[in-house]
Amino acid sequence: MTEHTETTSPRGKTLGYLRVSTDDQDLEKNKADILKLANEKDLGRIQFIEETVSGRVSWKKRKVAEILDRCRAGDNVIVSELSRLGRSMLECMEILSIALERGIHVYAVKGSWQLDQSIQSKIIAMAFSMAAEIERDLISQRTKEALRAKKAAGMKLGRPKGPGKSKLDAFRPEIEALLANGSTQKFIAQRYSTTEANLHNWMKKRGIKKPKSAAAPMSLSVPLLE
């Protein structure tokens, strides 16, 4: 995250949030657009907060969540477009609903969005809140319907049974050979960067048993020359 010196205006502090992708070529343009909007709205100077993160990461695990926590009523948040706030329409609606509930003003350059404490914004906030709740219910309903359909089709639900995959599976022939030659589980665990407990559980799940009597190491006897 990149931050610049913060300066507040009489209308509260103003933050410019920039979610930057690794191949984003419009960063400077987005900054310029946000600065222009801030000047037009007389929002004072801006503290830019840049974040390089995938859009697949939930907004609650990104800097936008921290912005909502640190902002107070009357503060301003500017984005280049509303889609930068969340990874889906549901997330965007949740963020906007929370911001408006806390009295945080949200502006978006694209589309000239302005969500503040006006009557129009409060109506929009109510619509966002209702839409987010409906969308959550629809997702839950679709999930349940999909599970019922799978169950009706005879598919087993839940976690699949079985030992599961392990990094040790690729070394099974080597491990069995080492056990047969008398190597200790401690030695094998160290060799394959695991613990004795993990190795023991792995062997148990796969039915691998250590030979009761390991082959004795071969000894070579060299006859003495007379």
pLDDT at 4: 46
Segment 78-98, tens digit of pLDDT: 998 887 887 777 788 888 888
Q: Considering just the CA atoms, what is the radius of gyration of the chain in Å? A: 31
Segment 13-41, tens digit of pLDDT: 999 998 876 555 578 888 999 999 999 98
Of the chain, the end-to-end C-alpha distance in Å amounts to 82
pLDDT at 158: 63
| Residues with pLDDT less than 50, the chain | 1-9, 214-226
135 CB burial (10 A radius; 0-12, 13-18, 19+): middle
Question: What is the value of pTM for the model shown?
Answer: 0.53
Residue-by-residue DSSP string for 128-159: HHHHHHHHHHHHHHHHHHHHHHHHHTTPPPSS
State the Cα–Cα distance between residues 175 and 167, nearest whole angstrom.
12
State the Cα–Cα distance between residues 51 and 35, nearest whole angstrom.
18
Order of strands across the sheet that contains 2-3: 2-3, 47-52, 14-20, 76-79, 105-108, 113-115
pLDDT at 221: 43
